[in-house]
Structures are given as C-alpha cells and as structure tokens.
Structure 1
Amino acid sequence: MAVNISQFSNVDKIFLKGFLKNLFSDPLQIEFWDGEVENYGNGDAKFKLIFHEPISKTDIVKDPSMTFGEAYMTRKIDIDGSLEDVVASLYNNKESFLHTHTQLAKLGMILSNSLKKSKENIRHHYDIGNDFYRLWLDETLTYSCAYFKSPNDSLAKAQRNKIEHTLKKLGLSEGDALLDIGCGWGELILTAAKEYHVKATGITLSTEQYKKVQERIKAENLQNHVDVQLIDYRELKNQKFDRVVSIGMVEHVGKNHLDEYFTVVNQLLNEGGVSLLHCITSIEDGATNSWIDKYIFPGGYIPAMKELVRLMADHRNYLLDVESLRRHYGKTLEHWAKNFENALPEIRKTKDETFIRMWRLYLNSCAASFNCGNIDIHQFLFSKGVNNTLPWVRA
C-alpha cells in the first residue's frame, strides 16, 4: 500500500499552525514548505520563519527545544530577521515551550558527572581548538561574562574590567595563595600574579586551554608565580589556599555534585579564606535544556539562586556579597555573536554549515535568555568562617 506523504505533511502543517499561533510575543510571518504564508499577531511582522520541510508533530510534542534547534541547524527552518529577536519573542511569551521542562530535560538534571564524565563533557566544548575561540573572543581570550562600566566599553576593556572587579572583591594581599577553578585561558591568574603579587594556581580539564596557559606563563616569565594544572578540582589533595575563585565553572558540575563542590572548596580554603563564585543562575528551580545539553554543554545544569545560598549556609559559609551581572552577560553575548559572524570567512575553512548554525543559535539564544531575564548570572562572595579583614564597603 502506497504512503501518501503529502497527507502526513498536511497533518503536520495543521498542527504547526496551531502550535505557532500564540507562541510568540511579537507579530511574525510564517512561510510553509508548500509556499503558503500566514501572518500571526497584530501589526507588521518583526521577523519571518521559513519552513523548508515539514516538522514532525510527534517530535515537537516530545521535545520542542530539541526539535526546533535541530531543524534550524539542518536548515529545515530559516529566519528572515534577527535570530536573537526570535528567541526573545519566545521567552517573552510566558506560555511558550521555553518556559517548560521536557521529560528529557528533567532527566539531564539527575545524571551524574563523574571524574571521567566531567573531563569528557568539558573537552566536548572547550577543546574545539584555541584557533576557533581566538577568532571571536577578545584579545584576552576570556570566555565568560564581561563587566561594562560603560555601554561603550570595548569587549576587551569590559573583560579586563571584570577581572579587576573580581580580584578587588577577593581582597587579595601580597603573598596570598589563589586558586582559580576552571581558569580558562589564564587571564585572571596572570593578572592576579602581576598586579597583586600572589601565588596563583589555575586548573582546567581542557587540554587546549592548559597548553595555552602554559605558553602564556612562559612568555611572561611568571613560572615562579603562576602554575596551571590539567586536573579536576576534586583531585587536588593536601593543598590550602587563601582565596578560591570560580568563573563559569559550577554550571558544569551537575545538580548531584553541587554539595560536593562546596565541600571541596571548604577543604581547600584556609580558615577565614574567601571564595568568589561567578555563575549562571535560574530564578526558580534549576534548569537544563535538552538541545544545549546535547550539542553545547553536555552535563550542564543551571542552579537556582536558592540552591546555592542554601548550600553555602549548610557548609557554614558566610555570604558576604551578591551581585547580578545579567545585563552584562547579554551584552557580552551580543559582542560574541557579532564577532562570530564577522569571522565566518575563517571559520568556514574548518567548520561546516551545521556547526556554524549550531553556534549561531547558541550565542543568540543565550543573549536573548539573559536580556529577557529567563536566566541570570551572579557573583557570590563568601568566607569559610568569620572574616573581619575585608574592606567595609564594596567600593
């Protein structure tokens, strides 16, 4: 018996029309694979979605984030307009699928990040190659939220602002032992050693980052002041530090290992020592996204603020300062997305269009998520026991 493909396409289109009708907060236009055009919302369309192929109703119902993310990657869907605006329009509609957790996403919250699995997850993202990241990051090779003292700051200036802002909060003194968990390409530990004359140690699970930090230490003749290790923070043994900083790392720990993170940090800190945790947070329950988990950050988990504060209290840490940098991260991601597009001629020499569309979606959707307040980012400053030596005020 012959199968009528057009019949199934019509079923998918009928479902898709109903699904899309009230999905966005802005007026838009939809062009379907058969040339039919629909307009939704009142007023002129802010953007246009073009469906080149039918999208399975079953796949959408099962996991809309994964289905539409993969459809964009493989060019089943194109967008005429700003990709960030499209995702923002979804986030601004509180009834959209981006505000619900699919069963697959919930499953990601309970998977365990063992030592072996953590190393695999980090290398999936960070070992793409230093040359790739160098094309669209700033000259400091800082891959985390910048700090814009002025909206007109360059990305490099804002990243240096963030390093300065972070190190000042830590209240460093000459000779202090500083640990950076997830040190990236080393800008913070190098700056701390040069400007605050501390003994700085950085650790990473990325082979590419490890090699680059080694090069930078040697190039700046800082071998006696800066050390970098290719190691998991849980593998540090019999070492003590006056200060521990972690920027953009705890999101990789996983829900089941958050308590372990604070246990290890307390073990590493001297009594009265201070730690700064800089991480993406969610307002309510912690969050995952199945598409992000599969293609961008496997094993990732965004903790809720209340989870982190409760864990600090459980470990008898004193919470000293909390600051939101949400708007700063939205702006940082917009810089990265623009730099990424400008670097496409070079990127295309080594990456295919599916990879490019994947990263374009990742950068723009994250910018939209921060700018819309769907997720936040905070710096938490806390001490192990009482510390009465830090400055009286943040300034």
Structure 2
Amino acid sequence: MALIDRFFARAVKRGQLTVIHEDGSSRIFGEADPALKPVTIRFGSGATRRILRDPSLGAAEAFMDGNVEIVEGDILDMLTLFAANNRWEDNDSVLFPGAFKKLLDKLAFRLGRINMQRRSKRNVAHHYDLSGKLYDLFLDTDRQYSCAYFSEAGISLEQAQLDKKAHIVAKLAIEPGMKVLDIGCGWGGMALYIHEKTGAEVLGVTLSEEQLKVARQRAIDAGVADKVKFELIDYRNVTGQFDRIVSVGMFEHVGTPHYRAFFRKVRELLTPQGVMLLHTIGRAGAPGVTDAFTLKYIFPGGYIPALSEIAKGYEGLRYFMTDVEVLRLHYAETLQHWYERTLAARDAIVGLYDERFYRMWCFYLAGCVVSFRYGGLVNYQLQFSRSREALPLTRDYMFEEERALREPHKVTLRQAGKAG
C-alpha cells in the first residue's frame, strides 16, 4: 500500500473517499455516511510527492495548480470529510503533526512572528489592498470582513452582520457625547454604525490605503465626515483619550511579542472610566503556530492566539476583564456564506485575477469553514475596563440595548435616561 494510501485509510473512516492515482489505479476509503458527501479526487503528475513532502502547503498548492482534481464534490466537501473524521475535541486526530514536525514549525514560525511597524503595513496590504471588487463579490453590502452573529437560524448574511454590530455596540455601553476609537476599522462599517446609533464621535484607524479611501468616502456620502473620521495610522501612534475603544478582527495581526504593548497602549488611550471591546479569532486550546499556506498566501505575519496568550498581554496592567463570550459556530456559518458566494462569483473572480487565485481563495475559505466547524478555532469577545464602576453590575444592560439597537424605533434605556 502506498504511503499516502495508508494516511487516507487512517484519516477517513466515516464518509467515502475515492482516490484515483497518477497511474490510473483507484482506491476507496471509509464507509458511506449520509451526513458526509462522497468525494472523488484525481492526482496529477507529482501531486503525491508534493503532498508527502509538505502535507499542508503541498496539498494546497497542488489543488491551486490543478494538480489535484476534485471529480466528485468540491474542495469544501473534501476538507469536511477529513475534518469531520478528525475533530479537535476528539484529541486523536491523524491530522495533528508529529513531535518533530511541531518543533520545526515552532522554530520557523518564531522567526517570522515579530511584527514590526514597517512589516505590519506590508502584511496588511498583502490581503486588504486586493481589489475592492473581490470583496464586493462575497461579503455583505457593508463589507463586514469578520465573524457575523447569527441571532436566529436561517437569517441572511446581511442580517447577521447587522446583528453582530448591535451585539458589539450594546456591550460598549456608549453614551451620547462619548469619543470612540475603532482600531482596525476596515471599510468603516462599524464606525459609521456606532455614530448612527449612538451619536458618538468616532476615529477609525487602518493600515490599508484601499480601506481608508472607501471609509472616508462613505463618511462623506453619509454627511458625517466631521463626526466619523478615518486615518492611515498604526494604533501605536494614536494619541488622545477615548471613552470607548473597539477592535474587531485586527488582533490576529498584532503578533504575540506585541500583546503587552497593545494592551498598554489601549490603557493609555482610555479615559479613567473607559471600556474596550476586543473581538478576535482565538484558539480553543493551547498556543500553536500558523499553518504554512495561510502565512504564504493569505495573512503574512498573522497569528491566532490562545486565551492564555491574550491574558499574558493584559495581566498586571490594572485592567478589569469585565466580560468574556465565546462564539463557537458563528464564524463557520459566516464563512459558509462567503464560500457559497465565492463559488457563485467564479467567472468574475477569474476575470479579476486568474484560475489559480480563484482556487486559492476557495481553499482558504473552505479551510476556515472546517477549522471553525470541526477544528480548534472559536471567536472571543473580551470586554475590559479601567474602572470597576464604569459598567452596570449585571449583564442585563447588554441584552436590553441589543434588543433596542435591532429595533430602531425603540429608544435604549441609556438614551432615555439621558433625555430625562
């Protein structure tokens, strides 16, 4: 039995995988399961060697180059088949790297982990300065490129992203007249939403020139450019005082050596009664390394932190962690929407770039879907305050404000109190 066949035999027990080798021979692995779609793949010349040499990056690049052809099913079906058979919580996955591979990965990853300011801008540009047309093809109309919040089953991506913004803003407990900083503001959707719903003045900062152009134009078009401002600046260089700070989907680019500097800078920018909400992808388990495919093609310098690593960043800085929420499957649902929209926009994406880019993007999104559905990734929403008195005693205010934000005709209790 070929070495790669031995791997398939161990990796696939539920669901059926058919492999057609370079010489035309085929083998079937696993048992049919109605919960998992059957998948058939065909290896082109040299594909097996590429995968055995570097399973993670080799498999991705072989697929991108058309060296691995999926005859039945698609890339998400294939990755689901492997991931569903090797769930993170089962702790016996044959997909987990061995001790020697883990050591090599850690050594290589450590070399590229330091995220200096000059490299940060280049890393951000690699991903976020892609054509805006690409993001319009698979994101919601507000270009929310982070985990949505599915408050009910079956709602649209647009509604889930609106609900995400309401969920976050409710936790911030923003009062009229406050100043808010949005670190990693993207295309400006969260900043504009905050001003619209609360009247607060907002400063959004980004390292993406393309995002900055769009965000500023949106503020001008909405007639709020004097209240919602956007700057091309590293968060480490921001000055002033803010009542509230929000950061959504940016912390993954900070780099573990800089977590302490991040939290120290945030504390410096917060008023004595200030509150910060951090929304980040996180590891459900221990610290790890970023896979080679993601580092090379998607997020250079990116790293998904364990909760223990985040804690080391703020401990001893006289913060109160005032709330923790773990979103388990919300990002899997979000990514499923993005993946399906990407498939539907195949011709447009190939027209923007090429077939290889399209395959890369499909592999990226499909890999993320299974990482949240079966792997060890979650989303954390962490709330911090400099003061023990800045927020209400119970979490009830969050639910009350969130309901009011999702029903625009209602006035929040906080707003009503101010009016009285």
TM-score by length of structure 2 reads: 0.86
Q: Which residue of 2 aligns with 1:14?
A: 2
Please point out which of 340, 357, 360 is paired with 1:358. Answer: 360
Q: Which residue of 1 aligns with 2:39?
A: 47
- Residue 370 of structure 1: how far off its partner (Å): 0.3
- Residue 36 of structure 1: how far off its partner (Å): 0.5
- Secondary structure of the 2:133 match is helix
Structure 2 distance, partners of 1:25, 1:324, is: 30
Q: Which residue of 2 aligns with 1:308?
A: 310
2:59 matched to 1:68?
A: yes
Structure 2 distance, partners of 1:380, 1:389, is: 14
- Residue 342 of structure 1: how far off its partner (Å): 1.1
Q: Which residue of 2 aligns with 1:28?
A: 17
Instruction: Note if contact 2:20-2:27 (Cα within 8 Å) is conserved in structure 1.
Output: yes
Q: Which residue of 1 aligns with 2:251?
A: 250
Structure 1 distance, partners of 2:110, 2:379, is: 19
Tell me the alpha carbon deviations over residues 201-220 of structure 1, each in whole angstroms, 9 at most, x when there is no partner: 10111111000001000000
Structure 2 distance, partners of 1:259, 1:167, is: 25
Q: How many residues align?
A: 381
- Secondary structure of the 1:299 match is coil
**Residues 106 and 48 (structure 1 numbering): CA distance in 2 closer, same or farther, change over 3 Å?**
farther
| Aligned-residue identity in percent | 35
Instruction: Note if contact 2:109-2:289 (Cα within 8 Å) is conserved in structure 1.
Output: no
Structure 1 distance, partners of 2:392, 2:199, is: 18
Structure 2 distance, partners of 1:99, 1:380, is: 30
Q: Which residue of 2 aligns with 1:382?
A: 384
Instruction: Note if contact 2:260-2:314 (Cα within 8 Å) is conserved in structure 1.
Output: no
Q: Which residue of 2 aligns with 1:161?
A: 163
Q: Which residue of 1 aligns with 2:342?
A: 340
2:71 matched to 1:83?
A: no
Structure 1 distance, partners of 2:64, 2:242, is: 44
Structure 1 distance, partners of 2:42, 2:103, is: 25
- Residue 181 of structure 1: how far off its partner (Å): 0.6
Q: Which residue of 1 aligns with 2:282?
A: 281
Structure 2 distance, partners of 1:21, 1:352, is: 35
Instruction: Note if contact 1:110-1:256 (Cα within 8 Å) is conserved in structure 2.
Output: no
- Residue 224 of structure 1: how far off its partner (Å): 1.8
Q: Which residue of 1 aligns with 2:406?
A: none
Structure 2 distance, partners of 1:107, 1:120, is: 20
- Secondary structure of the 1:188 match is helix
Give the letter for the 1:14 counterpart: A
- Secondary structure of the 1:331 match is helix
- Residue 230 of structure 1: how far off its partner (Å): 0.6
Structure 1 distance, partners of 2:251, 2:13, is: 32
- Residue 98 of structure 1: how far off its partner (Å): 4.8
Worse overlay, 352-361 or 61-70: 61-70
Long gaps (5+) in structure 1: 1-12
Instruction: Note if contact 2:125-2:207 (Cα within 8 Å) is conserved in structure 1.
Output: yes
Q: Which residue of 2 aligns with 1:6?
A: none
- Secondary structure of the 2:352 match is coil
- Secondary structure of the 1:308 match is helix
Structure 1 distance, partners of 2:144, 2:185, is: 10
Instruction: Note if contact 1:30-1:50 (Cα within 8 Å) is conserved in structure 2.
Output: yes
- Residue 256 of structure 1: how far off its partner (Å): 1.4
RMSD: 1.9
**Residues 330 and 102 (structure 1 numbering): CA distance in 2 closer, same or farther, change over 3 Å?**
farther
Tell me the alpha carbon deviations over residues 252-292 of structure 1, each in whole angstroms, 9 at most, x when there is no partner: 11121122211111111111211111011112113311110
- Residue 55 of structure 1: how far off its partner (Å): 3.0
TM-score by length of structure 1 reads: 0.91
Worse overlay, 75-84 or 277-286: 75-84
- Residue 95 of structure 1: how far off its partner (Å): 2.7
Instruction: Note if contact 1:181-1:249 (Cα within 8 Å) is conserved in structure 2.
Output: yes
Instruction: Note if contact 1:312-1:319 (Cα within 8 Å) is conserved in structure 2.
Output: no
**Residues 222 and 348 (structure 1 numbering): CA distance in 2 closer, same or farther, change over 3 Å?**
same
